[in-house]
Structure 1
Amino acid sequence: MTQRDDVDAIVEQWRRERTEMNPEPMAVFGRIYRLARLVGDRQEKVYAAWGISRGEFDVLATLRRSGRPYTLAPKALAASLMLTSGGMTGRLDRLERAGLVRRTPDPADRRGLQVTLTDDGRRAAEEAADAGLAVQRDLLDALPAADRDRLADLLRDLLAAAEAGD
């Protein structure tokens, strides 16, 4: 039997206090929010070994998975990470100071820039990705493989429904 958790208590409290309310969505989203925070905090600790935050890891990972030459325009990075240009600039400033990326003029657009992973940035992205996946894998090992696959499918469907509502 599945063990009861704090989210169950919250749902029950709402049921008791507001009998006309159906708090069932809280059972799903409360756990999604809590899980995202817990995993995010664990990954933040892991990424600190490379001197980067989770947000900075996201930039490095986006560049690394873009393929050789591991170069993107700042606008493309910002769009991929759903950031404002100001938020992206701050991350790029920190990563450039750390020697993990470099910004150079875009040869195809004299007003534009390109952001490229340095060799140290590529290594940091790959090593931090492996360490972050280990955190996630350890947590998922609590579920049988078939349940992990089913959970991924259910979350994909839920995400698609949420995105369609925008």
Structure 2
Amino acid sequence: MSRGSEGPTPGFLVWRLSMKWRVAVDRAVAPLGLTHAQYSLVASLHGMQHSGERPSQRRLADRTGLEPLYVSKLARALESAGLLERTRDPRDPRAVQLALTEQGREVTERAIKVVRGLLQQLMEPLGGLDGARAQEFTRDLTALLDAPLDPSRENETEQP
């Protein structure tokens, strides 16, 4: 029996779910002038600022999983839109710190509410966002995200 007839692989399902989520968030935050990637950046920045942190672009890239160069591009666009400010880190002149502007906080808080509603809808089949199955699913996703992936390891096992 061929691998294709056994049904979708977990990797395929993760990819499909991530695409479904990205498209839904893109559509939901578009009226606020944001894309999914911009939302990921400002929502993460909002949370970090709420904890008293003024992160560098590098730190925000690490937090979001986005490439540092892409974070820099997004930050410039968000700065042009008046949603965040970029300043040099006084401790490291090579680093750029990010902070939401007042307008950026307002837009981000509205976007977070919209996306939280989407997340509630997504998690309904698992008993809702606060349900036991959703919490278990979150733990499983966290475990998968924490698992190292090394493409070169696969090549090692295929060689004689």
- TM class by shorter chain equals 0.7 to 0.9
How far apart are residue 53 of structure 1 and its match?
0.6
Alignment of 1:50-129 (within 5 A): 50-68=32-50, 71-129=54-112
CA deviation after TM superposition for structure 1 residue 143, in Å: 4.0
Aligned residues: 148
Q: How far apart are the structure 1 equivalents of 2:118 and 2:111? A: 11
CA distance in 1, matches of 2:140, 2:126: 19
* TM-score, L = length of structure 2: 0.76
Distance in 2 (CA, whole Å) between partners of 1:120 and 1:137 is 26
Q: 3-state DSSP class of the match of 2:82?
A: coil
Q: Contact conserved, 2:83 with 2:101, CA < 8 A, in 1?
A: yes
Distance of aligned partners of 1:154 and 1:142 in 2 relative to their CA distance in 1, 3 Å threshold: closer
Contact 1:100 1:117 in 2 (8 A): yes
Partner Cα separation in structure 1 for residue 5 and residue 94 of structure 2: 52
Extract unaligned runs of 5+ from structure 1.
1-14
Residue in 2 that maps onto 1:131: 114
Q: Please give the per-residue CA displacement for 1:31-74, whole angstroms capped at 9, x wherever unaligned.
A: 33323222221111111111111111111011110134562111
Q: What is the rounded CA distance, in whole Å, between the counterparts of 1:148 and 1:28 in structure 2?
A: 22
- Among candidates 40, 46, 49, match of residue 31 of structure 2: 49
Identity of aligned residues (%): 25
Matched, 1:144 2:120: no
Query: Counterparts of 1:104 and 1:37 in 2: how far apart (Å)?
Result: 33
TM-score (normalizing by structure 1): 0.74
Question: What amino acid is the match of 2:133?
Answer: R
CA–CA distance in structure 1, aligned partners of residues 144 and 95 of structure 2: 36
Structure 2: gaps spanning 5 or more residues: 150-160
Contact 2:86–2:99 (CA<8 Å) still a contact in 1? yes
User: CA RMSD of the aligned region, Å?
Assistant: 2.8
User: Cα gap change, 1:148/1:104 in structure 2, threshold over 3 Å: closer, same or farther?
Assistant: same
Q: Structure 1 residues 100 and 158, CA, compared in 2 at 3 Å: closer, same or farther?
A: closer
Contact 1:96–1:102 (CA under 8 A) maintained in structure 2: yes
Q: Displacement, 1:146?
A: 9.7
Q: Which has the larger radius of gyration?
A: 1
